[in-house]
């Protein structure tokens, strides 16, 4: 098990700031080292050990590359797609 992850950590704040355009994202602690990202009552990702995990087209969580985390537009697109996949809605077309 990793170290305790704080909602107020710089990494978590940075992720939530970049995803703020999605509005109304809730963060809940699942375990001491895991936070769940929730929007509209739908779990669409995790933050664990200072890594971000979102759903892919196969509805499995995968680690987001650190380079993508720095690119807000790309991160928003991937997070929005993850939310749509988790909710069972039509997938967002890839560019």
Question: What's the pLDDT tens digit per position in 18-45?
Answer: 999 998 999 988 777 889 999 999 999 9
Domain residues for the domain of 25 are: 10-87
Number of domains forming the structure of the chain: 1
Count the alpha carbons within 13 Å of 80 in the hemisphere toward its beta carbon. 17
Q: With respect to residue 4, please indicate whether it lies within any of the assigned structural domains.
A: no
Among 16-20, 24-28, 64-68, 90-94, where is mean pLDDT lowest?
90-94
Q: With respect to residue 92, please indicate whether it lies within any of the assigned structural domains.
A: no
Q: With respect to residue 1, please indicate whether it lies within any of the assigned structural domains.
A: no
């Amino acid at each position: 098990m990793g170290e305790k992850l704080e909602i107020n950590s710089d990494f978590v704040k940075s992720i939530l700031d970049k995803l703020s355009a999605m509005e109304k994202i809730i963060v809940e602690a699942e375990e001491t080292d895991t936070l769940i990202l929730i929007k509209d009552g739908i779990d669409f990702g995790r933050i664990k050990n200072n890594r971000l995990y979102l759903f892919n087209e196969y509805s499995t969580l995968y680690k987001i590359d650190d380079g993508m985390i720095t690119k807000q537009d790309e991160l928003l697109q991937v997070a929005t797609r993850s939310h749509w996949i988790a909710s069972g809605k039509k997938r967002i077309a890839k560019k």
